[in-house]
Amino acid sequence: MNRTINLIELGFKDYKEVWDFQSELLQEIVTIKTENRKNQLQKNTQNHFLFVEHPHVYTLGKSGDLSNLLLNEQQLAAKGATFYKINRGGDITYHGPGQIVGYPILDLENFFTDIHKYLRLLEETIILTIAEYGLKGERSEGETGVWLDVGTPFARKICAMGIRSSRWVTMHGFALNVNVDLGYFDNIIPCGIRGKAVTSMEVELGRKVDMEAVKKKVLKHFMALFGVEKYLVSPNIH
């Protein structure tokens, strides 16, 4: 079992380009697994962790309702935003500058074959990360992601999550609001949940937050929770 991950820092990159890249990485892993089974081989599969920031984009999951996007094509263009219907779970969400997006492309057979556990550990990664800044992240029953003040009228989401898996290989992941412009969330019903607010680390702390420092903490907690032995820094895509 390979418990090393390839860390790929993508910088600021278009959503569709990164979606295609994720799909390629997933397919490479699935192909090796298929060949291993077919030919009784034991070739190691790779695990990847992508960090990226996207230009303004709204994405709708496969179970999502388009009516949760409150903009038409002209309004999207006026805001400099794009829209994609994609193959992850969950409803609608927003990605944009000031948000840390993480896409773990893992062969869960290298770790554990339990999607529920995978999601809970992703949430725990973010809960432990924001705890280092004095923020008490929580889970909200029946709602994936990380929230603050669950069970109160002030409940607000700080990190959205949505994944896809194929043959125990994951793609998509989490979006942690760090210094993001929360005004863009006004154009959607986030995750299809009416009356639920969103927030960011900047809003909660009253100051801009160093995104590189947050990423280091995310990686540290992710590695500890998943039992990752080491990470290798891989080159960016062109």
Q: Are 50 and 8 in contact (CB under 8 A)?
A: yes
Q: How far apart are CA 204 and CA 178, in angstroms?
A: 10
Q: How far apart are CA 76 and CA 70, in angstroms?
A: 10
Alpha helices (H) in the chain, listed in sequence order:
15-39, 73-78, 115-131, 201-205, 211-226
* Selected catalytic residue, list 52, 60, 122, 191: 191
- Tokens linked to 121: 């550990």
Burial of 168 (0-12, 13-18, 19+ CB in 10 A): buried
159 is a catalytic site residue: no
Tokens 């607010």 locate to 197
Residue type, 233: V
Tokens 């896809």 locate to 164
Task: List the catalytic residues.
Answer: 191
